[in-house]
Amino acid sequence: MTVPLRILLLEDSENDADLIKECLRADRFIFELIRAETRAEFLAALETQKIDLILSDHKLPSFDGFSALKLAQSMCPDLPFIFVSGTLGEDLAVEALKIGATDYVLKTRLSRLGPSAGRALREAEERAERKKAEEALRKMHADLAHATRVAILGELTATIAHEVNQPLAAVVSSGNACLRWLASEPPNIENAKQSVDRIIRDAHRASEVIGRVRSLAKKTPPEKQWLNINDAVRETLSLTRMEAAEHGASLRSQLSDDVPPVWADRIEVQQVILNLIINGIEAISAEGNERRDVLVTTKKDKPDDILLTVCDTGTGLDPAKLEHIFDAFYSTKREGMGLGLAVSRSIIEAHGGRLWASQNEPHGAIFQFTLPIARKEAP
Ligand SMILES: Nc1ncnc2c1ncn2[C@@H]1O[C@H](COP(=O)(O)OP(=O)(O)OP(=O)(O)O)[C@@H](O)[C@H]1O
Ligand SMILES: [Mg+2]
């Protein structure tokens, strides 16, 4: 059974309303017409009914089509809106289309109404489907980013355990010291106090590491905020330091002080930095090089970008494979998923930046990405 269309008609003339109905019927539309004459009736219909199409006169005794269009746009921006008017001059018609009306039909040429309404409804349906597909794609992207992030955290468990253990061990030794200061004769309250301060500081350090890991593991929809890229690098370095040491790589950073904040999702950007650093460390461990460096630098890249570079002295990149490394599931590692770079590139591009690779001299690889310094999107 066909579900009838719900058409909201803003029209004060009974006669014209009948003509419009007849015209739509003649074009085989199956519909239910809800007629409104005033702002209150129009608003009530939009609020309480699921409307598919609005047909609106230009001038009514207490309301007008332009105000109705603005109201409809603010409440249901995707709803097609066609002016059906006897008086709409050419200038007004152009103005109506400019501010978002789908079409206009003159009452003297009502035969155009059926085709115009048909087209408007088709386009609205296509728009809705496109939106749904985009939404599904966005969700898939977020799910994939999350899954690969969790996988990387799995690889880093030894590092994370170490990062938490270190301050905890310090807490225990400061606790013991504190007891000793208190037991001494006379008790040294000042030194005991300093030990307690250290306990508090180290406990905070441990809980910060856990907080960082938790926020990377959490599944939250991307949320942009003002991000200082240097802070993101520092946090990521603290999670990868042990991993680097285990692979005999030295992990260094040169972070420029004049990088402006970017409008970005902190977790996703950290994920990219994490992927690039781990790739660098893995490339180094595969090589018997003398120099075993991974260097992360940030700087402002004139005029509108910031530039982050991860530079290593590892195996380097095969020039013929330079673009393939960004393909999903391309991996030369025994246990690699081949998703790190693909996900990283899609994250950076979703932020309006670029991610690319080149050779380091005399050997190794350079990965760089830009992020635009916020212009349009930021609040
Ligand atoms: N710094 C690098 N030096 C040399 N080759 C690299 C470097 N980074 C990436 N590659 C190459 O690109 C491939 C793809 O990297 P990508 O990070 O996408 O996947 P992966 O590291 O193999 O697996 P995972 O999905 O677990 O990260 C790697 O297998 C490697 O061949
Ligand atoms: Mg990788």
pLDDT tens sequence across 257-301: 999 999 999 888 999 999 999 999 999 876 566 779 999 999 998
In Å, how far are 63, 244, 267 from 298, measured between CA atoms? 58, 20, 18
Summarize the confidence of residues 335-364 as an average pLDDT. Answer: 91
Between the CA of 157 and the centroid of ligand 1 the distance, in Å, is 20
Nearest-ligand number for the alpha carbon of 278: 2
Q: What is the mean pLDDT of residues 154-163?
A: 76
> Judging by DSSP bridges, how do beta strands 293-301 and 305-312 pair with one another?
antiparallel
Q: Residue 134's pLDDT is what?
A: 86
Q: Report the pocket of ligand 1 as residue ranges, CB < 6 Å.
A: 275, 279-280, 283, 312, 314-315, 317, 325, 330-333, 336-342, 365
Q: What is the mean pLDDT of the chain?
A: 89
Question: Which atom of ligand 1 has the smallest separation from the CA of 155?
Answer: 26
Indicate whether 355 pLDDT > 80. yes
Is residue 23 within 8 Å of residue 113, measured between CB atoms?
yes
DSSP 259: P
* Strands, E assignment, the chain: 5-10, 31-36, 53-56, 81-85, 103-106, 224-227, 250-255, 262-265, 293-301, 305-312, 355-359, 365-372
User: What's the confidence (pLDDT) of residue 289?
Assistant: 64
Q: What is the pLDDT of residue 379?
A: 53
Angle at CA of residue 250, ends 327 and 345, nearest 5°: 20
322: its two tokens: 């330079």
Q: In whole angstroms, give the CA distance from residue 75 to residue 60.
A: 21
Expressed in angstroms and rounded, the spacing between residue 348 Cα and the centre of ligand 2 is: 15
Per-residue pLDDT tens digits for 17-51: 999 999 999 999 999 999 999 999 999 999 999 99
Smallest Cα–Cα separation from 56: which of 94, 90, 93?
Answer: 93
User: Which one has a higher pLDDT value, 340 or 141?
Assistant: 340
Calculate how far, in angstroms, residue 280's C-alpha sits from the geometric centre of ligand 1: 8
Q: Pick the more confident residue, 87 or 346.
A: 346
Residues 6+ apart with CB under 8 A from 23: 110, 111, 113, 114
- The crossing angle, in degrees rounded to 10, of helices 340-350 and 266-285 is 150
Whole-number percent of the chain with pLDDT over 90:
61
CA 78 to chain CA mean position, Å: 22
The residue whose CA has the least distance to atom 27 of ligand 1 is 340
What confidence tier does 371 reach under pLDDT thresholds 50, 70, 90?
very high
Count of residues for the chain? 379
Segment 344-370 mean pLDDT = 93
- Give the residue, by CA position, lying nearest to ligand 1 atom 17: 340
Q: Which two tokens stand for residue 263?
A: 């409008």
Q: What is the pLDDT of residue 288?
A: 65
Tokens of 51: 């409307």
Report the distance separating Cα 17 and Cα 26, nearest Å.
14
Residue 291 is which amino acid? R
pLDDT of 377 > 60? The answer is no
Q: Which residues contact 309 (CB under 8 A, 6 or more apart)?
A: 295, 296, 297, 298, 366, 367, 368
Lowest-pLDDT choice from 54-58, 191-195, 261-265, 371-375: 371-375
| pLDDT attached to residue 21 | 94
Instruction: Give residue 193 CA to ligand 2 midpoint distance, Å.
Output: 46
Could you give the percent of the chain with pLDDT greater than 70?
A: 97
Distance 325 CA to ligand 1 centre (A): 7
Q: Which amino acid is at 307?
A: L
- 139 pLDDT band, cuts 50/70/90, is confident
What confidence category does residue 154 fall into, taking pLDDT thresholds of 50, 70 and 90? confident
Residue 166 is predicted with a pLDDT of 83
Does residue 197 register a pLDDT over 90? yes
Residue recorded with tokens 């349009």: 376
| pLDDT value for 51 | 95
Cβ-based neighbours of 16, under 8 Å, separated by 6 or more: 57, 84, 86, 107
Mutate to test the pocket of ligand 1, among 243, 325, 327 (most ligand atoms within 8 A of CB): 325
Write down the pLDDT at residue 376: 52
Closest approach atom of ligand 1 to CA 341? 18
Q: Ligand 1: which of 331, 334, 335, 369 to mutate, most ligand atoms within 8 Å of CB? A: 331
How remote is the CA of residue 54 from the centroid of ligand 2, in Å? 52
Max intra-chain CA distance, the chain: 106
Tokens matching residue 94: 């152009």
Is the pTM of the predicted complex or chain greater than 0.85?
no
Query: Exposure of 299 by Cβ count < 10 A (0-12 exposed, 13-18 middle, 19+ buried)?
Result: middle
Cα angle, residue 314 at apex, residues 309 and 316 outer, rounded to 5° = 80
Other C-beta atoms closer than 10 Å to the C-beta of 11 total: 24
pLDDT at residue 375 in the model: 60
pLDDT in tens, 55-104: 999 989 999 999 999 999 999 988 999 999 887 777 888 888 998 999 99
Is the pLDDT at 132 greater than 80, yes or no?
A: yes
